[in-house]
Structure 1
Amino acid sequence: MKIDNRGDFGLWAIEVAKQIVSGEGFELARAARDGTDDDVRAAGNALGQAITNALMEVYDGLLEGAEEN
């Protein structure tokens, strides 16, 4: 997805948030309900990593756009 303006970024952020919550968020909830402390920790770390990856993806895109100017 190409992000050219604030609206595009908003749509991208909503879609990525949905994906993260449906995947890693669900796993964290399941670990909290049924898992051990280690399971919760691992699921929490996976959620944090997914958020970090999404932020780095958009940051890298911003850098690519800056190099073109």
Structure 2
Amino acid sequence: MDDVLTIDNRGDFGLWAIEAAKQIVGEEGFELAKAARDGTEGELRDAGSALEQAITNALLEVYDGLLDGAEDE
């Protein structure tokens, strides 16, 4: 998520969430599916952890942005 997005309402947040999910699934979901099909148990675990971390990072990114916005007011 390199682009700056201003979230002013619930609709903006919904759009951000959809785009973030598409990006995460496109990148990390593919790796998880590939590991499930061809990988070892360790590779599957690692891919699942990477997907989990990407989701966590996205949620923390928007949370931090909300906190930054609250401090400006």
Q: Shorter chain as normaliser: what TM range?
A: over 0.9
Q: Which ranges of structure 1 fall in alignment gaps of 5 or more residues?
A: none
Q: What is residue 40 of structure 1 aligned with on the other side?
A: 44
If asked which structure has higher relative contact order (CA below 8 Å, sep 6+), I would say: 2
Q: Which ranges of structure 2 fall in alignment gaps of 5 or more residues?
A: none
Residue identity (%):
75
Q: What is residue 26 of structure 2 aligned with on the other side?
A: 22
Question: Under a length normalisation based on structure 2, what TM-score does the superposition of the two structures give?
Answer: 0.92
Kindly indicate whether residue 72 of structure 2 is the aligned counterpart of residue 52 of structure 1: no
Question: For the aligned residues, what is the CA RMSD?
Answer: 0.5
Higher helix share: 1
Length, aligned pairs only: 69
